[in-house]
Amino acid sequence: MAITSPETYWWKPADKEEKLWITIAIVWCLILFTMMPLWHIVGGQNPSVEPLKIRPKDYEKISDAFIEKYKIGEESGIPVVKPPDGADVYLRGQMWNWMPILELKKGVNYKFHISSIDLMHGFSLQPLVMNFQIVPGHDNILNITPTSSGTFHIICNEFCGINHHTMVGKIVVKD
């Protein structure tokens, strides 16, 4: 029994059934193992591939400049920004909103720099459900090409203080 010591020589070959199962399991593991790097290359979507550190103060300056340069209006007190095609886009998580509201063009590639100037935030794009961890001091760089037009929302799914659940941002994609 499993609660008593086994007989003296227990290093015995496995049964046929066990060997078969273990072989199947190993093959399955190998398939999964090759899928991961393979999908990184052939798949269209990957998390950030360029880790970069940036001090929250510096990031705030750059993102303020970005907002000022391309601002086209304001909505509920939050600036609306329309960056030119192919521009570097700065999206800032802060307690408790995503700054600014972005207006993008369908089919155009943007280089997103998402970071935080205070706590961690969770970038969660709805309704596509794509999620990234946003860490102060680190720039989450993502190359994004919107493939459909419409209004998208960003909710926060990392706890960031008492009003965490009110943190909603917006991206509008136009044709």
Partner 1 sequence: MAANALEFRTCPITGKKVYATAQNLIWANAVTAVVFILVGGLAALLVLLTRWPAVHLLSPDLFYRILTLHPIAALVAWIIFFEVAGLYFGCTVLLNSRIAAPKVAWLAYFLMLVGAALVAVEILIGNADVMFTSYIPLQASPLYYLGVILFAVGALVACGIFFGTLAIAKAEKTYEGSLPLVTFGLSAAAIIAVWTLASGAIIYIPTFLWSLGVIKNIDAAMYRLIFWGFGHASQQINVTAMVSVWYLLGVLTVGLKPVNEKVCRSAFVLYIFFINLASEHHLLTDPTLSPAHKIANTSYFIYMAALASMIHALAIPMAVEVAQRKKGYTKGIFEWLTKAPWGEPGFPALVFSLFIFGFIGGITGIVNGTEQLSIKSHNTWAMTGHFHGTVVGGTTLAFMGLTYYLIPLVFRREIIGKKWATAQPYIYGIGLIIFTLSMIAAGTLGVPRRHWDITFADSIIPFSFDPTAILLVTLTALGGLTAIVGGAIYVGVAVLSVFFGRKLAPNEAKLI
Q: For residues 86-105, which are near partner 1 according to CB under 8 A?
A: 97, 101
d(CA 143, CA 123): 15
Q: How far is the CB of 106 from partner 1 (least distance, A)?
A: 21
Both tokens of 122, joined, read 């969770």
Strand partners, 173: 104, 150
3-state DSSP helix/strand/coil % of the chain, to nearest 5: 25, 35, 35
Residues 28-57 that bind partner 1 (CB under 8 A): 28-30, 32-33, 35-37, 39-40, 43, 45-49, 51-52
Both tokens of 64, joined, read 């303020």
Which among Cu ion, partner 1, none contacts residue 153 (Cβ within 5 to 8 A by kind)? partner 1
- 65 near partner 1, judged by CB under 8 A: no
Contact with Cu ion (CB under 5 A): which of 99, 102, 144, 167?
Answer: 167
Which value, to the nearest 10 degrees, does the dihedral of the CA atoms of residues 157, 161, 162, 163 take? -50
- 64 near partner 1, judged by CB under 8 A: no
- If the CB atoms of residues 108 and 130 are measured against partner 1, the closer one turns out to be 130
d(CA 95, CA 164): 7
15-26 core/surface letters (b: 16 or more CB in 10 A; e: else): eeeeeeeeeeee
Which among partner 1, Cu ion, none contacts residue 150 (Cβ within 5 to 8 A by kind)? none
Site string for partner 1, 124-153 (x = CB under 8 A): x-xx-xxxxxxxxxxxxx-----------x
- 99 near Cu ion, judged by CB under 5 A: no
- 27 near partner 1, judged by CB under 8 A: no
Q: How far is the CB of 100 from Cu ion (least distance, A)?
A: 15
